[in-house]
Chains A and B, each alone.
Chain A
Amino acid sequence: MKKTLYLAVVALLLTAPIARAQLGTTTGTTTVNVTVAAEAALSVGATTNLASVGTNFSSYTGTTSLTYFIRTTLAGGSGFIKLEVTTDFAPAGGPSVGTPPTAGDALNYTCTVANPGNNGAAIPCGSPTTSSTTAQTSVATFGTDNRSLIGGNSASVAWTLTNDPKYKTGAYSAVVTFTISAS
């Protein structure tokens, strides 16, 4: 038995150098895999100007337009768009969101949100909503399997700022941060 084994090993060693494995083929296949998850994105204009019509202390108004892209999870998903005044009006002496010069002075807004173009329904903010420097406030909310168009869907925020005579004349600006999220 041992002799048989030895000879088999010798035969294998002698034949191995002359063996040429040909493993090439004329065709081959590759499987392409991709996993799709919840995602959200938005784009918003850089500046919105608030203006007052006339000269009788009518409120300042303006509209900020934005485009949102959203995909919430097929089951149990949700999403939202919110805003927050992350930098109050400056310089001092004019309007202020954090410390209104006069009680009742406020930067308020209303929301208009188109439904996600591929599936779902957007729920806009309640009107009017008072912006804040300390907390995010709602613009829109989304439910399960909400999917926007590949080019996005539109939303807008219409601002109203009290025209308080107490404001000193001048140019004032604040920064509003919009946030979109999906799960």
Chain B
Amino acid sequence: MQERTFRHHNPAQTFSPSVNDFHWDIDAVSTCANEENLIRCRCQGRVVPRARVLVREPGSHCAKRKTAPAPSEHKVIKTQKVSLCPSENHKRVAPYCDGVVADASSQASRCEFGEPSTMRVAFAANVFMAAPAETSSSRLGSNFLRYMILVRNIKHHLQWVVTLSLSGLVMLLAPVGSYAQTTLGTQTLSLTLHAAGLLYTVPASVTLTHVGTTFTTFTGSVTLDYRARTTTSTGSGTITAKATTDFPCASGGPCIATPPSAGDALTYTCSGATLGASCSGTQTVSTTAATNVVTIPAGACTGAGSPCGNAATNTVSVNFKLTDDPKYKTGGPYSATLTWTISAA
């Protein structure tokens, strides 16, 4: 292949291909940092007799794609206007052709502001020229250009679709203040509030410990957060506890359902309920029945100030004790699961 260097100084200069101008080796490569810039192209390999090229129209800084004429033709037979110029002063037309692998020794021109570029291609054909800031052109592969332009357009469209969708979402979700200019009618809004009760902070675990090594009772505490609303006059609510999973009794440690020794038990007391009454006395945890923690009266509600007069969230402390029976085998931790349940009517 013969290598030629082209440098262009006449902005309006164009070349018409000749019969001998179709042995091109140019790669279609996009190497511009800004995708808006013209894509440089090098095509390598074989002859591409009908490669598309970019031709800058006389007097314009934007490129138009043109199909390279057939060997027997000496004029442009098809054009497609392509706007690739975000900035008129930063456009540089690069040659495209139907892509084939580039010759490693070829160099495409760079997309630079206002400077003529030089492209060396290993080909024996002429190139179509562009304006002064353009590279020396050669016959270009149009498919690659079409693909890149299509990708860019799709991307732009998608961005606007997302933008518009988000705008619509903002409109739907954001509170909108409107001012009625004309009274069209009235409507009565009615609301029925039902009794409700919910647990909030429930500790995931508690570890029972004791002081010394003389079989003192194991102890531990938890605090529950809850909110409740009970029916006026006739309502009520409760918080209860139940062992839904026992200690592994077969392991020889503590056991709720079948205590190792008479008198062994996991018990608790309640204190400090800020809504309702704490359980009275010592409660023995059971695996078969729920035991009381808090009793909530009728017409009660959670909230600071009137009409509830307590707090944004109510709390109660539960203090556990577990017998330290010498019969327990050493080991652990032995674990049991307590389930707390709140209800309101």
CB of A15 within 8 A of CB of B173, answer yes
Q: B223-267: which residues lie under 8 A (CB-CB) from chain A? A: 224, 226-227, 244, 247, 253-254, 261, 263-264, 266
Q: A29-61: which residues lie under 8 A (CB-CB) from chain B? A: 29-41
Residue from B169, B227, B266, B343 within 8 A of A32 (CB atoms): B266
CB of B343 within 8 A of CB of A149, answer no
Distance (whole angstroms) from the CB of A131 to the closest CB of chain B: 25
CB of B327 within 8 A of CB of A149, answer yes
CB of A18 within 8 A of CB of B173, answer yes
CB of B337 within 8 A of CB of A149, answer no
- Report whether over half of chain A's contact residues are helix, strand or loop; otherwise say mixed: mixed
Stretch at the interface among B27-35, B103-111, B212-220: B212-220
Distance (whole angstroms) from the CB of A17 to the closest CB of chain B: 8
Residue from A29, A40, A70 within 8 A of B338 (CB atoms): A29
Q: Is B334 an interface residue (CB 8 A)?
A: yes
Question: Given that A8-B166, A24-B199, A26-B199 are contacting pairs, would A31 and B336 also be in contact in the complex, using a CB cutoff of 8 Å?
Answer: yes
Residue from B174, B200, B204, B263 within 8 A of A150 (CB atoms): B263
CB of B338 within 8 A of CB of A32, answer yes
CB of B203 within 8 A of CB of A118, answer no
Distance (whole angstroms) from the CB of A13 to the closest CB of chain B: 9
Q: Is A73 an interface residue (CB 8 A)?
A: yes
Closest to A180 in B: B214
Distance (whole angstroms) from the CB of B219 to the closest CB of chain A: 10
Q: Is A171 an interface residue (CB 8 A)?
A: no
CB of A33 within 8 A of CB of B175, answer no
CB of A149 within 8 A of CB of B199, answer no
A116-B261 Cα distance, complex, nearest whole Å: 14
Closest to B159 in A: A4
Question: Given that A34-B332, A70-B326 are contacting pairs, would A11 and B340 also be in contact in the complex, using a CB cutoff of 8 Å?
Answer: no
A35-B163 Cα distance, complex, nearest whole Å: 59
Q: Is A92 an interface residue (CB 8 A)?
A: no
CB of A37 within 8 A of CB of B330, answer yes
Closest to A42 in B: B214
Distance (whole angstroms) from the CB of B73 to the closest CB of chain A: 43
Q: Is B222 an interface residue (CB 8 A)?
A: yes
- What are the interface flags for B321-345 relative to A under an 8 Å C-beta threshold, 1 for contact and 0 otherwise? 0111111111111111111111100
Q: Is B205 an interface residue (CB 8 A)?
A: yes
Q: Is A77 an interface residue (CB 8 A)?
A: yes
Q: A107-147: which residues lie under 8 A (CB-CB) from chain B? A: 116, 118, 145, 147
A34-B162 Cα distance, complex, nearest whole Å: 56
CB of A39 within 8 A of CB of B200, answer no
A131-B148 Cα distance, complex, nearest whole Å: 103
CB of A24 within 8 A of CB of B198, answer yes
A71-B202 Cα distance, complex, nearest whole Å: 34
A163-B198 Cα distance, complex, nearest whole Å: 78
Q: Is A10 an interface residue (CB 8 A)?
A: yes
Q: Is B208 an interface residue (CB 8 A)?
A: yes
Q: Which residues of B contact A4 (CB under 8 A)?
A: 159, 162-163, 166
CB of A1 within 8 A of CB of B329, answer no
CB of A41 within 8 A of CB of B332, answer no
CB of B175 within 8 A of CB of A150, answer no
CB of A34 within 8 A of CB of B337, answer no
Q: Is A80 an interface residue (CB 8 A)?
A: no
| 6 shortest interchain CB distances as A-B pairs | A24-B198, A28-B202, A35-B332, A41-B214, A33-B333, A14-B174
Give the interface of B toward A (CB within 8 A).
Answer: 159, 162-163, 166-167, 169-170, 173-175, 197-200, 202-209, 213-215, 218, 220, 222, 224, 226-227, 244, 247, 253-254, 261, 263-264, 266, 320, 322-343
Give the interface of A toward B (CB within 8 A).
Answer: 1, 3-4, 7-8, 10-11, 14-15, 18, 22-41, 69-74, 77, 116, 118, 145, 147-150, 182
